[in-house]
Amino acid sequence: MPTTPFDSTLERREADLLGIWAFLVTEVLFFGPLFFGYVHGRLTHPEAFTAGSHHMHVVLGTLNTAILMTSSLTMALGVAAARGGRKSLRTWLVLTALLGLAFLGIKASEYWMESSEVAQASGAELTFYFLYFAMTGLHAVHLTIGIGIVAWLWRHASRYGAAYHSPVEVTGIYWHFVDVVWVFLYPMFYLLQRYSA
């Protein structure tokens, strides 16, 4: 017989929430060297980073930002539905996953269009593109994992209700983290210096 370390589901929920926050601390530091490398690259090659931001597809990037922010809303509504023990949990989870997939689809089409521009780039502009692909790529990996977990929650949605719902909450916190990372990436690559002179 397996031993559970907890006395109650309440105690378990507290541990789950602390666990995901501790994990996100690690995640922030995992992205850290990339952000540090971006600052370093920007300081040493400002002109190349300015030129790079002009090659970004800002309309698609903005659209994607809106899609991702909306997915955070549907995720939050899903968490509220789980806490209230409402059936709508499944609907919100499906919407969240679909919005995530839409983001990935648009991102992929951007990558496709940018690949020809990368072939023409040289010197420090390559550093810009390297950081762009590394950072948005890592973000996309995180989003893909998030979609997978949301799909898993959808399959087991009947388990969650007013009494026990910490997996939905934990996934929600992770999902919002992935969105917040994008909130930083979007201005860093698409907006900075694009509209100056």
Interface ranges with another protein (CB under 8 A): 2-6, 11, 14-15, 18-19, 22-23, 25-27, 29-34, 36-37, 40-41, 44-45, 48, 123-124, 126-127, 129-131, 134
Angle at 16 between CA 181 and CA 65, to 5 degrees: 20
Minimum distance from residue 77 beta carbon to another protein (Å):
28
Minimum distance from residue 28 beta carbon to another protein (Å):
8
The nearer residue to another protein, 48 or 77, going by C-beta atoms, is 48
Instruction: Report helix angle 166-186 to 9-44, nearest 10.
Output: 10
> How far apart, in whole angstroms, are the C-alpha atoms of residue 2 and residue 18?
23
Angle at 48 between CA 44 and CA 50, to 5 degrees: 105
Q: Are 194 and 54 in contact (CB under 8 A)?
A: yes
The nearer residue to another protein, 18 or 66, going by C-beta atoms, is 18
The nearer residue to another protein, 24 or 73, going by C-beta atoms, is 24
Minimum distance from residue 95 beta carbon to another protein (Å):
29
